[in-house]
Amino acid sequence: MKARHCASEQPEDRSNQETKTTTCYMCACRCGIRVTLRDGEVRYIEGNPEHPLNKGVICAKGASGIMKQVSPARLSKPLRRKPGAERGAGEFEPISWEEAFEIMAQRLSHLRATDPKKFALFTGRDQMQALTGLFAKQFGTPNYAAHGGFCSVNMAAGMIYTIGGSFWEFGGPDLERAKLFVMIGTAEDHHSNPLKMAISQFKRSGGKFIAINPIRTGYAAIADEWVAIKPGTDGALFMALIRELIKQGLFDRDFLIRYSNAAQLVNLDAERDDFGLFAQDTGSAEETNTGAKLWWDRTTRKVVPSHSQEASPCLLGEYQLDDGTPVKPAFQLLAERVESCTPEWAADITGIAADTIRRLAHELGVVARDHKIELPVAWTDAWGKQHTVVTGNPVAFHAMRGLAAHSNGFQTIRALSILMTLLGTIDRPGGFRHKAPFPRPIPPGVKTPTGPEGVQPNTPLGGAPLGWPAAPEDLFVDEQGEPVRIDKAFSWEYPLSVHGMMHNVITNAWRGDP
């Protein structure tokens, strides 16, 4: 096509324009963008083709980032309720930034000097949690939370408490090497551009894409197979898939033994305080880096320290320690737990036919077992054992809020993590791979204060505003066991609240509690 410029047209004067490269903060993908400014004002946003993550691709939301700067609805000045106006009447007057800062400094310093917890800082999805959390901690208030508490926090909490990392900014599917990809409970804005590009490449290289979602839109529309599921029932599907993998013997025994606690023995003496916890040989001289936890070695028929190099532990069965304590491997307890979760049971709950569930389990297990990947990369594992290659089971998953945003989300996502563990697809090529700095220790060591004494006038908070409780003594409660925070996070009511419970504040306020 010929250019439509006529000879007399002058090229546009771009001397007042400049292009800056930066990162899109409209979601957690962090795509690279180029922002064109004219006279210092944002005029245009496009994807940065040089950026390794999105290679120039930009989504509608990212391109609309310009509206953060120029939307007529954007607040450009501080507003103060007009004197005498009723709360909620929406009558405000603009004031200067100097006046706003003066009012804020006066009120906040009074609160900080008297009772810092009266300042509650609840932020939106601003991608600035590191900074806002630091501000809350330095201020000394425990009442801090971000939007994650009612969004995808179950996805982060369920997986981080189980495997040390999660999807999206924590890790994701290795679609470059996967052969089977299962996406469940995911909408188009969940890990948007990088995932779209990866799925496109995955499909072109012949991978099979199964979408499990109540509706067939977006990603599911281009799936090779769409499995319709009733909303909020994904956990039942995972439990049935786990049961079938165990029944059909399609779990990765080596992976479970080496990289999970599946073979570790659990104390089943109901009379003891440590009933239900991992049995430990506290006097063991051979303590490994899993502490003094134990395996039952099927060759010597004896108890041995977990992860002993020469041992071959039992995953199933019932045993007795030397002192007569009854024990079972964690995997045996899992098998017992899912025994009643038959495909027929799950079919009633999920709406997916029992035969389809059986077939899915078989397909997942067979691809993981029979299509192994081997990369010529030497590495040393956590026990000092050297390997000449990295192997992988090419079954990858991606999941998001369709699982997370339900009251059963935490347990559903734990079940997904266990399913992935059984298939041996964690931190391996073709499966799920963490992004640095994940995986974290399980759970991460960050803790909130454990009592009201952690909140003192004119003093930074005596712990992190958000944390990962691992035991009752980590809870943030007073002497009566009542919550210290106004959203009741990290209390007996909501122990594993991780991002806080901002949504509770509104309900609590409506109830007059406190």
Q: Which residues of 363-390 are buried (b: 16+ CB within 10 A; e: fewer)?
A: bbbebbbeebbeeeeeeeeeeeeeeeee
Respond yes or no on whether the N-terminal peptide bond of residue 437 is cis (omega within 30° of 0).
yes
Determine the Cα–Cα distance for residues 144 and 130; give it in Å rounded to an integer.
Answer: 12
End-to-end Cα, the chain, rounded Å: 70
> CA-CA distance, 92 to 78, in Å (whole number)?
9
Q: How many CB atoms lie within 10 A of CB 493?
A: 15
State yes or no: residue 29 binds ligand SF4 (CB under 6 A): yes
Amino acid at 232: G
The residue (of 25 and 92) whose beta carbon lies closer to ligand SF4 is 25
Q: Which residue has the CB atom at the shortest distance from ligand SF4?
A: 62
Query: 239 is written with which tokens?
Result: 């439990």
CB of 194 to ligand SF4, least distance (A): 7
- Per CB under 6 A, the segment of 28-36, 81-89, 116-124, 165-173 that binds ligand SF4 is 28-36
Which CB sits closer to ligand SF4, 189 or 287? 189
Contact characters 40-59, ligand SF4, x per CB under 6 A: --------------x---xx
- Of 23-31, 72-80, 306-314, 476-484, the segment contacting ligand SF4 by CB under 6 A is 23-31
Structure tokens at 461: 């908070």
Shortest distance in whole angstroms from residue 17 CB to ligand SF4: 22
Q: How far is the CB of 31 from ligand SF4 (least distance, A)?
A: 3
Least separation in angstroms between residue 266's CB and ligand SF4 is 43
Residue ranges of the alpha helices (H) in 299-446? 330-338, 343-350, 354-370, 401-404, 409-423
- Strand, coil or helix: what is 188? coil
195 binds ligand SF4 (CB under 6 A): no
Using CB under 6 A, pick the residue from 162, 166, 192, 267 that binds ligand SF4: 192
Let me know: does 461 contact 136? Beta carbons within 8 Å.
yes
Q: Least Å distance between CB 145 and ligand SF4?
A: 23
Q: Site size for ligand SF4, by CB under 6 A?
A: 13
| Structure token pair of residue 131 | 């900074």
Grouping H, G, I as helix, E, B as strand and the rest as coil, residue 262 is coil
Per DSSP (E only), the strands in 164-287 are 171-173, 180-184, 208-212, 225-227, 265-267
In the complex, what is the shortest distance from the CB of residue 18 to ligand SF4, in angstroms, rounded to a whole number?
21
Choose between 29 and 145: whose C-beta lies nearer to ligand SF4. Answer: 29
We find the least distance from the C-beta atom of residue 416 to ligand SF4, in angstroms, to be 23
CB closer to ligand SF4 out of 192 and 233: 192
Output the furthest CA–CA distance in the chain (Å, rounded): 98
**443 upstream amide cis, omega within 30 of 0:** yes
Binding mask 149-188 for ligand SF4 (x = CB under 6 A): ----------------------------------------
Select 55 or 61, whichever has its Cβ closest to ligand SF4. Answer: 61
String marking each residue 58-77 x if it binds ligand SF4 according to CB under 6 A: xx-xx---------------
Our CB check for ligand SF4 shows the closer of 186 and 425 to be: 186
Beta partners for 302?
297
Single-letter amino acid, residue 322:
D
DSSP 395-434: EEEEE-HHHHSSTTHHHHHHHHHHHHHHHT-BSSTTSEEE
125 binds ligand SF4 per the rule CB under 6 A = no
Instruction: Name which position in 31, 240, 241, 461 contacts ligand SF4 (CB under 6 A).
Output: 31
| Residue placing its CB nearer to ligand SF4 in the complex, 26 or 368 | 26
Q: How far apart are CA 436 and CA 171, in angstroms?
A: 8
- Identify the DSSP state of 8: T
Q: Closest CB to ligand SF4 among 28 and 316?
A: 28
From the CB of 222, what's the least distance to ligand SF4, in Å? 18
Ranges of beta strands (E only) in 10-145 are 17-23, 32-38, 41-47, 79-81, 92-94, 121-122, 144-145
Tracing tokens 């050297």 back to the chain, one arrives at 386
> Applying CB under 6 A, which of residues 48, 186, 193, 425 lies at the interface with ligand SF4?
193
- Cβ at position 398, least distance to ligand SF4 in Å: 14
Chain positions contacting ligand SF4, by CB under 6 A: 24, 26-27, 29-31, 54, 58-59, 61-62, 192-193
